[in-house]
Copies of this chain bind each other. A is one copy, B any other.
Amino acid sequence: MLFIPAFKDIEAASRLISPHVHRTPVLTSKQLDAISGARLFFKCENFQKVGAFKFRGATNAVLNLTEGQRAAGVVTHSSGNHAAALAHAAVSRGVKALIVMPSSAPEVKKRAVAGYGAEITFCEPTLAAREAAAAEVIGRTGATMIHPYDNFYIIAGQGTAAMELLEDIPDPDAVLAPVGGGGLLSGSAITIRHMAPPAKIYGAEPLLADDAARSLRTGAIQPALPPHTIADGLLTSLCERTFTVIKNNVDDILTVTEEQIIAAMTLMWTRMKIVVEPSSAVPLAAVLANRELFSGKKVAIIVSGGNADLSKLPFGQHG
C-alpha cells in the first residue's frame, strides 16, 4: 500500500506551513519572453527560506511529527538542500536534527547545515555508507527518518509551491519543474491536475541524468547515473511513490544538454538578475530547446533554488 497525497493533503500542508514559509514571488521578463517566444512566469523558490523549495516539504514533515517523534528528533542523509531545509525546519521548531553527510561534501554546505543547528554525522561518500550511518543514528536515538522525497508529507509540502503559483497565474498552458527524485514534480503534478486540469505538465532533467525520462519511457524506475551533470540537485532516481504520480500525471520529461543548462542559467542571471543554481535553469533550458511545444504559450516554471556555489561558477573567465 503506497500512501500518495491527494490535493486535500496539499491544501492541508499549505494551511500548516504558510506561517513558516515565504510566499515567493512570480517574476516575468520581457527579454526572456522575446528570446523564448513564449509568455514565461517564474515561481521563485530561490527566494524561499534556506534558498530552496525543500523548506516547504521539510517544514510540513516536521509539523506532522507526533509528540513522541518530536522528542526523539529527525534524521536524514543528504549533502544538498534537503539537509539544510530539514535542519532549519526542525531546529527552529525545537526538534533535534541529525544529518548524515558524506565527508566529501563542500565545506560551504557543511557550514550551512551546522549553522542551522543540526548535529552532523560524517560518513564515506557512498550510498551504502550513508544508509548505514543513518541506520546507526536511528538505532542509537530513535530519530524519525525524513527521506528527501520518498515521504508523504514531503511530497505534499513540495506541492504547495505550485498551489501558490496557480493562485497567482490561474490558467497556464504548461508548467515545468525540474526532476531528480521527483518530490517537487509529483507534488506539483497533484496540484496542477486539480487546479488547472488542462495544463500540460513537464519534468525537465539533464541528459546526463535522464533516468526519469527513461523510467517514463520504459515504464520501470531506472537507476541514477554517475554524477556528471552540473545540475547537482537532480542526481537521484525516482521512487515508487513519485514514479506512480509522475507516470499517471506528467505529459513528458524533457532532457537538455549541459551547454543548454549553462546558457539558460546565464540568461536568468544576466536578464532576470536572480541567483539560481544550475538545477533551476533546467526547465528554462527545456523551453528554449522545444520551441514547437511552447511558442506563443503561457508557460509557468518552478525555479527550485538559489544555492549556487559562487566559487565554482560555470561562466568562464573570458571577456
Q: Which residues of A contact B (CB under 8 A)?
A: 25, 46-47, 51, 106-108, 266, 269-270, 273-276, 306, 310-313, 315-319
Which residue of B has the minimal Cβ distance to A268? B275
Which residue of B has the minimal Cβ distance to A107? B319
Given A273-B47, A273-B274, A275-B269, are A319 and B108 neighbors across the interface (CB < 8 Å)? yes
Contact B313–A310 (Cβ < 8 Å): yes
User: Which B residues are in CB contact (< 8 Å) with A106?
Assistant: 319
Distance in angstroms from A233 CB to nearest chain B CB is 15
Could you jot down 5 A-B contacts, CB within 8 Å?
A46-B273, A270-B275, A273-B274, A273-B275, A311-B319
Given A25-B25, A107-B319, A319-B106, are A51 and B313 neighbors across the interface (CB < 8 Å)? no
Of B51, B274, B306, B312, which is within 8 A of A317 by CB?
B312
Bound Cα distance A306, B274 (Å): 9
Number of copies: 2
User: Which B residues are in CB contact (< 8 Å) with A276?
Assistant: 273
Main secondary structure of the interface of A (DSSP, over half): loop
User: Which B residues are in CB contact (< 8 Å) with A318?
Assistant: 311
Contact A273–B25 (Cβ < 8 Å): no
Which residue of B has the minimal Cβ distance to A44? B273
Contact A315–B319 (Cβ < 8 Å): no
Bound Cα distance A92, B198 (Å): 38
Given A269-B275, A273-B47, A273-B274, are A311 and B306 neighbors across the interface (CB < 8 Å)? no
Not counting A311-B318, A313-B313, a sample of 11 additional A-B residue pairs whose C-beta atoms are within 8 angstroms of each other reads A25-B25, A46-B273, A47-B273, A273-B274, A273-B275, A273-B306, A274-B275, A275-B275, A310-B313, A311-B316, A313-B315
Bound Cα distance A310, B266 (Å): 8
User: Which B residues are in CB contact (< 8 Å) with A311?
Assistant: 315-319
User: Which B residues are in CB contact (< 8 Å) with A273?
Assistant: 46-47, 51, 274-276, 306
Which residue of B has the minimal Cβ distance to A45? B273
Bound Cα distance A317, B315 (Å): 12
Which residue of B has the minimal Cβ distance to A316? B311
Distance in angstroms from A72 CB to nearest chain B CB is 29
Distance in angstroms from A83 CB to nearest chain B CB is 17
